[in-house]
Chains A and B, each alone.
Chain A
Amino acid sequence: MRMLKFLLQKELQQILRDPSIIRILFIMPMIQLLILPLAADYEIKNINLGVIDHDHSQYSRNLINKIISSGYFRLKDYSATFPQAIKSIELDKADLILEIPGHFDRDLIQENNNTLFVAVNAINGIKAGLGSAYIQAIINDYNQDIRTQWIQFPRFNPQPMIEVVTNNWYNPNMNYRVFMVPGILVMLVTMIGSSFAANNIVREKEMGTIEQINVSPIKKYQFILGKLIPFLVLAMTVLTVGLIIARVVYGIVPLGSYSTIYFFATIYLIAILGFGLLLSTYAQTQQQSMLVSFFITMIFNLLSGLYTPIESMPEWAQIITRFNPVSYFIEVMRMVMLKGSGIADIRPHIIAMLGFAVFFNSWAILNYRKRSV
């Protein structure tokens, strides 16, 4: 216990004396949390639309107006022919082309149906997919408008209509910030946990001070604890700064309790720090540990469900995410923040995370050798 006191005291003095650590601790979360949630938004806006209107009728103009006024599209190009319009896609001026055939209004009135043609520039898959979905929804809506205009009330509607009304539970306004901020916070805490701790031990290797530790009676677990605890405190501080920013800037108040978040975060950080410590027992230089931790945390983050829903990943990738501690924390954060889940609801996550914590830390202690072979 006394041994640990001296280890912690020394570590704290070193951390507090390093101005770059303090700067990273406070500036990094602020920049990430202030910029990313505003910029990294799933909603697709400003889709550039090219139109070929062969009809030039009241109806076609109404349709175009309706599309533009939705706010998602910008009318960029008015072409006379399709080859001309496709040119605007090739020049990257338009993302999507809507072709309205000639006699659009006549066919619509006389034959009661018509066909529109939509061409999409699919270089940006998300933009193309959402863009064509949006425009289809608008055209459908327009279709409804016309039908209600024409078909007089008492008359029997020959085509049964099913209208789907969605109700967004847990995030009624579909606010992306509410969704992104907890995730970004997890990413931040993970980065600090894994790379700071790893670099710290490797630095002692580079300086040669680790040899002085190895020749002393300090026990392995004491040394590991002496590194784990200070960085746990640091990461918790970042988490707190992040939660304050989330509350003050974005007005995100968790539906669940902060204590649930801190409770899970503690276990999570012990696991992630254990991973960082494990890394440091293998790496010989700070470059090595930086690159490896960067590489692995990038995979952790991309497969965490922060950017893409885990459910839509292929089966093999979903299996990988089960071995990814980051995905558990992101899920827990969103559950607690948006759904108000408590300890009982996140029990499976807690058990899994305890598993990670034991696994990484025991491996780190086993692999840390005071004596080389």
Chain B
Amino acid sequence: MQTDKVISVSNLTKKFGDFTAVDNISFDCVKGEIFGFLGANGAGKTTAMRMLCGLSLPTSGEASVAGFDVYKESELIKKKIGYMSQKFSLYEDLTVWENIRFYAGIYGLSDSNIREKSRQLLTELHLEGQENALVRSLPLGWKQKLAFSVAIVHNPAIVFLDEPTGGVDPITRREFWGLIYEASARDITVFVTTHYMDEAEYCNRVSIMVDGKIEALDTPANLKQHYNADSMDEVFLHLARTATRSQD
């Protein structure tokens, strides 16, 4: 169904001088899908994601996010998406509650809505009683879960997650994916990059980028079958070994 497409990318390219970071990629994402965006370090995942979020201008190709063009309507896209960058991006010197209020506020939620949302969010994350703690003082896993919840506090159509579980322990990672499934159940499309292959198995569809190109895109089950592999790990290694770009 055409209307279900929330991200549609065709021949998208980003060049930095002579270097082609993202080379002619094309794909679509549908509503409520969990789309895994895999690739070795330096494969161009973050660059592609930044173009879709309106943080970086594409060199050529076309892309629309939430029905808006990335060239001309990037500010409209920004109302419809959530973003969680590789770098932790809540304010460490603000409390949990102040962060929630700030991010909910700048996305235009009403005061009563903000109060209700934050109460709900604190319960979900088991952070009741911690609302006045500085974010700086929280353990990393909690910070990441909070950052994710804040990124979707305004109920976006799509949430972009750039390696959200880096450095997080396995139990918290599992909890984090619980949050992702909940978001997906609320029809939020989740666009996620990761280096953990067990997480790739949790995705509805997975794309694997090698040297700026998308080399494979399918459901994890189909990919394993196609490459005759037992796990996503094998699929990834099979493809990533062909990379010629030096890894950072």
Contacts and interface: CB of A to CB of B under 8 A. Distances in A.
B187 interface: no
A370 B101 contact: no
Given A17-B93, A208-B85, A211-B89, A6 B101 contact: yes
Nearest to A214: B55
Nearest to A14: B93
Interface stretch (A67-75, A188-196, A215-223): A215-223
A209 B102 CA distance: 12
B156 to A, nearest CB: 11
B107 interface: yes
Interface stretch (B28-36, B75-83, B220-228): B75-83
A215 B81 contact: yes
B101 A14 contact: no
Contacts of A215: 53-55, 78, 81, 83
B57 interface: yes
- What band does the interface of chain A fall in when counting residues whose beta carbon is under 8 Å from B? 20 to 34
B107 A217 contact: yes
B55 A371 contact: yes
Interface string A26-51: 00000000000000000000000000
A58 interface: no
A23 interface: no
B196 interface: no
B75 A217 contact: yes
Contacts of A373: 56-57
Given A10-B91, A13-B94, A211-B87, A370 B54 contact: yes
Given A208-B88, A212-B85, A371 B94 contact: no
Given A9-B102, A217-B107, A211 B85 contact: yes
A10 B94 contact: yes
Interface in B85-125: 85, 87-94, 98, 101-103, 105-108
Contacts of B93: 14, 17-18
B13 interface: no
B94 A14 contact: yes
A9 B101 CA distance: 10
Contacts of A372: 55-57
A222 to B, nearest CB: 9
A370 B91 contact: no
Contacts, number: 80
A61 B229 CA distance: 111
Interface string A213-238: 01111110000000000000000000
B55 A370 contact: yes
B89 A7 contact: no
A320 interface: no
Nearest to B162: A211
A10 B83 CA distance: 20
A10 B102 contact: yes
A6 B105 contact: yes
Interface in A244-266: none
B162 to A, nearest CB: 10
B230 to A, nearest CB: 38
A351 to B, nearest CB: 35
A182 B91 CA distance: 38
A216 B55 contact: no
Contacts of A161: none
A6 B78 CA distance: 18
Contacts of A218: 106
A216 B154 CA distance: 11
A181 to B, nearest CB: 35
A216 B55 CA distance: 10
Interface of A: 2-3, 5-7, 9-10, 13-14, 17-18, 207-209, 211-212, 214-219, 370-373
17 contacts: A6-B106, A7-B106, A9-B101, A14-B91, A207-B91, A209-B90, A211-B87, A212-B89, A215-B83, A216-B107, A217-B75, A370-B55, A370-B74, A371-B54, A372-B57, A373-B56, A373-B57
The 9 closest A-B pairs by CB, nearest first: A208-B87, A6-B105, A212-B89, A215-B83, A10-B102, A217-B79, A217-B78, A208-B89, A215-B53
